[in-house]
Amino acid sequence: MKMKFGRIIIAAVTSVIGIACLFSFYIVNNPKKKNRLDITFADKSILHFWGTDTSSNCVSFLLTKDKRIFYYCGKFSDAEKQTLPQLRETSFEKKNGLSDLLQSIDSFVILRIKKLEDEKIRNNFADSTYKKKKWAIQGDYRAKTILIKTDSGAMYNEFVRVVDELKLLNISKFVNVDISESERLALRKITE
């Protein structure tokens, strides 16, 4: 009787160890889904790929200290130092903030992707077809290019919030670029 009891204990312990090994093998080889939004930046050469004239079709966002966001339409270069960009301010607030501004700026893309999503549900077409059509909409020459620029006072989480808003609204033409000296001067005039 003691012999059978010992074998039963050994079999039970071996089974528990085996199950633990299988469970740990499963955990190691099947990590959880990511609970974050991956940030991927477009290569700066992609602007040429889309064939856009970024001087008239872009909006620059300048992130500064104290969660302040300034923006202006068009492209501004340091060669135009006599005329500083005309900066307007927005915020991260839900009403009349960054999200509403982005929706009004790039309504061309947002409305067409919404129609495409509805069409996908109605017609039940393949994901590959949906992705191709979505890419075509986002790459259209009429879609705005968003330039994100930060000064030394901006916090990283503010930059991430802007990128999150862009991703949520399906705006894919955005680039992180350096702030120019003229833009710094325009910011100093407003913030001081």
Distance CA(145)–CA(165), nearest Å, equals: 14
- The per-residue pLDDT for range 52-71, each reduced to its tens digit, is 444 568 888 999 888 889 99
Q: What percent of the chain has pLDDT over 90?
A: 7
User: Tell me, what's the pLDDT at 3?
Assistant: 62
What residues does each domain of the chain span? 1-31, 46-191
More confident residue, 80 or 84: 84
The per-residue pLDDT for range 141-168, each reduced to its tens digit, is: 888 888 999 888 888 889 999 999 988 8
> pLDDT tier at 79 (50, 70, 90 boundaries)?
low
